[in-house]
Amino acid sequence: MAGPASSEADAIAVSLGAVTKVYDNGVAALGPLDLDVKRGEFISLLGPSGCGKSTALRLIAGLTAPSSGVVGVSQRTNETRAGYSIGFVFQEPTLMPWASVRDNVRLPLKLGHVPMAEADPRVEEALAQVGLSEFAAAYPRELSGGMKMRVSLARALVTNPGILLMDEPFAALDEITRFRLNNDLLALWRKLNMTIVFVTHSVFESVYLSQRVVVMSSRPGRISAEFRIDTPEPRVEEFRMSASYAAYCREVSNALMPSYSGLVGA
């Protein structure tokens, strides 16, 4: 039964319309690309290196401008609190080595001139959300790779984003840590009702995490296939062992093969 609630759920958070990106050196990185992401949706962009996945994220974040086409981003923020519309987690944690975990997480609020009385509880909440409350006073050199990435995630969450962009955040981690962070990310997504656009090279990660997997072709990147991953929610670890997971991975792998030379999940 359609109504205001279902209409709201279908609202578009991110829209790319006939977007292209050509760099100053003449390299055509992207497009034309057409992509709509619904509010609250978790999608993965999957494709070979150099196909424009990261470029698409940078366009959504406003870090670079399209050569042509239109990039639309909802300015609506987190439902429960005022915040910034977009959070960005990069492939490398890029933490300040001289600053504590707490101060690294506080950085966006400090740059935004958020008063200390408001910033402190938001920092503590973000650290709790990623399981790092006990390490607030630690320094990056004292952390594992997975913990550093949790700090980077907390730094994005502290701004209360409605849209979270993630550029291969777990690519350099060992498999056990990666699986654990995948599960934690899904739990946060459900709890915070964010829209997530996640870039990865891994078929297996994209199928496990996403409601929709968008496969991109070689440069200039275009959408070559899309897959809706329909599974019961909440998605749990047993899904990795299921026949449906294996079937989705085969479908996505087959769609990726023409442009990725079979290096699936690398």
- Residue entry with tokens 């030379």: 261
Q: Is 24 exposed, middle or buried (0-12, 13-18, 19+ CB in 10 A)?
A: exposed
Last residue of a domain, one of 161, 183, 214: 161
CATH number of 57's domain: 3.40.50.300
- The answer to whether position 137 is within a domain reads yes
Residue 141 belongs to what domain range? 91-161
Q: Would 178 be classed as within a structural domain?
A: yes
**Same domain (yes/no): 181, 152:** no
In a domain, 25, yes or no: no
Cis peptide before 220 (omega within 30 of 0): yes
Residue 234, burial from CB neighbour count under 10 angstroms (0-12, 13-18, 19+):
exposed
Q: Does one domain contain both 103 and 181?
A: no
Name the token pair of 37.
């992401």
58 shares its domain with 179:
yes
24 belongs to a structural domain: no
Give 135-190 pLDDT, tens digit per residue: 999 999 999 999 999 999 999 999 999 999 999 999 889 999 999 999 999 999 99
Question: Using one digit for the tens of pLDDT, what is the confidence trace for 97-117?
Answer: 999 999 999 999 999 899 999
232 and 215 in a common domain: yes
> Does one domain contain both 109 and 230?
no
Of the pLDDT bands very low, low, confident and very high (cuts 50, 70, 90), residue 83 is: very low
Beta strands in 85-238 (DSSP E): 86-89, 163-167, 195-200, 212-216, 223-228
CA distance 82 to 46: 32
CB atoms within 10 A of CB 131: 13
Whether residues 239 and 254 share a domain: the answer is: yes
Say what the pLDDT of residue 123 is: 96
Per-residue pLDDT band for 80 (boundaries 50, 70, 90) equals very low
In a domain, 192, yes or no: yes
Which of these three, 161, 195, 210, is where a domain ends? 161
Rounded to two decimals, what is the model's pTM? 0.89
In a shared domain, residues 181 and 122: no
d(CA 201, CA 205): 8
pLDDT digits (tens, 9 = 90+) for 13-33: 999 999 999 998 988 999 799
Whether the predicted pLDDT of 120 surpasses 60? yes
Q: Are residues 188 and 154 in the same domain?
A: no
Q: Are residues 151 and 170 in the same domain?
A: no
Crossing angle (nearest 10°) for helices 175-192 and 145-157: 20
Considering only 68-77, 85-94, 171-180, which range has the smallest mean pLDDT? 68-77
If one counts the domains in the chain, the total is 2
